[in-house]
């Protein structure tokens, strides 16, 4: 009889951050476009264990500034 698998514990380090896929879907843009935005430093990000993550509060700030600016 094989041992029962336990669910992986929630990773506290990644809490309150979003992946690039999650952010690009929320902003309705491609990942390439999101990477350009990250490169211009308009949107803050962190690297955790080799993964680029966007803090949730940084995304909220970015969304609020974009809402005030007309789209090009």
Q: How many residues does this entry show for the chain?
A: 72
Nearest CA-CA partner of 19 in 63, 58, 41, 51: 51
The pLDDT value given to residue 14: 76
Which pTM does this prediction carry? 0.75
- Can you give the pLDDT at residue 12? 72
Can you tell me the mean pLDDT for 24-31? 96
Round to whole Å and give the CA distance between 64 and 69: 9
- Does position 1 have pLDDT exceeding 70, yes or no? no
- Report the pLDDT averaged over residues 42-70: 90
């Amino acid at each position: 009889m094989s041992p029962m698998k336990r669910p992986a514990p929630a990773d506290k380090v990644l809490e309150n951050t979003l992946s690039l896929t999650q952010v690009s879907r929320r902003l309705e843009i491609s990942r390439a476009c999101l990477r350009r935005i990250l490169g211009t430093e308009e949107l803050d990000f962190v690297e955790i264990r080799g993964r680029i993550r966007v803090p949730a509060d940084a995304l909220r700030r970015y969304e609020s500034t974009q809402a005030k600016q007309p789209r090009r």
